[in-house]
Chains A and B, each alone.
Chain A
Amino acid sequence: MGVQAPNGVELSPAAKMYLCADRLVQPAGMYFGYPTPTGVKVDNRTLSKGIVLVTIQSLEETGLIQVWQEQRKQLLGSFTSVMVRALYSGAPGFSGSFLVSTGWQDESLVTMLTRLFPRDQAPFIPFLDSVSSEFVEAGMLTRGGYGAHGNVWDPQWLGYLHEALYPEAYDLWMRAHARPDAEVIKHNTMLAVGIRQHTERDDDD
């Protein structure tokens, strides 16, 4: 019998990584730290890139996407982009959003990720928050932000899923990082974040 999530919600591989992030990603300090459900802060860049990798790996394994690489022109130079073709719909949570971000045509990963990363001073954080929305749907998380109120988790579900999902999460995490195109995917992710990141230049006012 598989691992059951509350409300019968099917969690995406991204959500599983999010939940087990404290055991998959190295801890980080205040600047790049993202508070995982257990309270340990992990490197938000590594976690985000890992989530993209894992999503591509799982969708490819289940035959929902095809992936290849292309050279794309950018200003005077060029870069290698991963191209994605969505073959079927119907993936849960973040995986579904990932499929939708193709616009149902052959699309470069960079363009897809610019649709998934919000325009923000620190796009990694709202991106990771959007992954956690699956737990809100499952009724085990009440989001209050990172200030005084915090995010309220149901400790029983959190404890159970954190343990039960870890073997699967670890296995998928390792396979995804062993992909031959893993570095290209990570590079594409950082390019997309660079496009979506903006700076509040309040000293110009």
Chain B
Amino acid sequence: MLYEREPPRVHIAVADAVMRAGEPGDNAMTATLLHLAQCGLLTLRPCERIVTSIFGSEKRDSHEFVVDTSRWQEFDPLDQELVSLLFTTMKHSAAMSLLDLRVLLRSRERTYASGIAAWRTSVAARAVADGLLEPTGRGRTAAGEVVRDTCEALRAYIRDFGRLEDDELMALELWGPYLVWAALFGLAEEVVATMRLKAMDYHDDLMLAVETIAS
């Protein structure tokens, strides 16, 4: 089995599209948001929300993603499209709690479905433009095969070594940067479950985001 420790140098959603030889899957959005959080373009912080229902209202703790609008030019156009969909079109705000997100994905299902479909098309188009997918958007080019192989080797590395019972702080140091890719591969929960004992708040927050979006 080949292992790879260096992620491919392509947008994480594009990598997913290449792996699937078409449009990216459900984990691509989660991974993209987490990637933006790791880059500091989104901040993930604790917050409170008031939830009003027929039973009254209650204050609930949550976490919110906040877009750093001052760095908007640093966002990749694919990220801009996704952030615009979630924050501008759906939430109408630069701050969105995980509670908001959970409610929005259900209450504005059609807006989300059409928006995310358009985003997936854009991701596939980028993969074509980068020469990773064939012009039809189906089937990988030779360069795409290299990216696919790199991703598969990275997935194998995270899967086989993500449970190492190292010193937990060491594990956090080692595996933190891989969380984004673990989320793409659907392995984030496994990796964080291993680290959770003493994981720092930030990674717990990321895990909460992964779980919320996945649910």
Contacts and interface: CB of A to CB of B under 8 A. Distances in A.
A137 B75 CA distance: 24
Contacts of A38: 50, 52, 57
B86 to A, nearest CB: 12
A143 interface: yes
B52 A150 contact: yes
Contact of B103 (A35, A41, A152): A152
B92 interface: yes
Given A139-B91, A140-B93, A35 B52 contact: yes
B48 interface: yes
B163 interface: no
Interface stretch (B35-43, B94-102, B184-192): B94-102
A152 B92 contact: no
Contacts of A139: 91-95
A145 B92 contact: no
A153 interface: yes
B110 interface: no
A205 B212 CA distance: 42
Interface size class of B (residues with CB under 8 A): 20 to 34
Contacts of B50: 37-39, 152-155, 158
A37 B102 contact: no
B52 A149 contact: no
Interface string B42-57: 0000001111111011
A144 B57 contact: no
A148 B107 CA distance: 12
Interface in A108-154: 136-140, 142-154
A155 B104 CA distance: 18
Interface in A144-182: 144-155, 158
Contacts of B58: 39
A145 B93 contact: no
B9 interface: no
Contacts, number: 85
Contact of A137 (B49, B92, B99, B100): B92
Contact of B107 (A30, A37, A144): A144
Contacts of A37: 50, 52, 57
A152 B56 contact: no
Which of A7, A35, A138, A147 is the most central at the interface, judged by chain B CB atoms within 10 Å of its CB? A35
A6 interface: yes
Contacts of A146: 53-54
B25 to A, nearest CB: 25
Nearest to B94: A139
B71 interface: no
A152 B93 contact: no
A139 B64 CA distance: 13
Nearest to B57: A39
A138 B92 contact: yes
Nearest to B107: A144
Contacts of A145: 53, 107
Interface of A: 6-7, 30, 35-41, 136-140, 142-155, 158
22 contacts: A7-B93, A35-B56, A35-B57, A39-B50, A41-B56, A137-B92, A142-B91, A142-B99, A144-B103, A144-B106, A149-B102, A150-B51, A150-B53, A151-B52, A152-B99, A153-B49, A153-B50, A153-B51, A153-B57, A154-B95, A155-B48, A155-B49
Given A139-B94, A152-B50, 7 more contacts: A30-B54, A35-B56, A144-B107, A145-B53, A150-B51, A153-B51, A154-B95
8 nearest interchain CB pairs?
Answer: A39-B57, A139-B93, A150-B53, A144-B103, A139-B92, A150-B51, A146-B54, A142-B100
